[in-house]
Amino acid sequence: MSNKPFTVTRAEARELRRRSERVSRTGGIPHAEIVAEMRRDMDRELRAMVRAYRHPGRKLTEIMECMAIARAEGIDISEAWSSLLDKIAAAHPRAA
* Mean pLDDT per 10-residue section of the chain, whose length is 96 residues: 83 92 86 92 95 91 95 94 93 75
- pTM surpassing 0.95? no
pLDDT score at 96: 59
Please report, for residues 2, 17, 19, 22, the alpha-carbon distance to residue 10 in angstroms, rounded to integers and kept in the order given. Answer: 22, 10, 14, 18
pLDDT score at 95: 65
- Name the strand (E) or helix (H) holding 53: none
pLDDT score at 76: 95
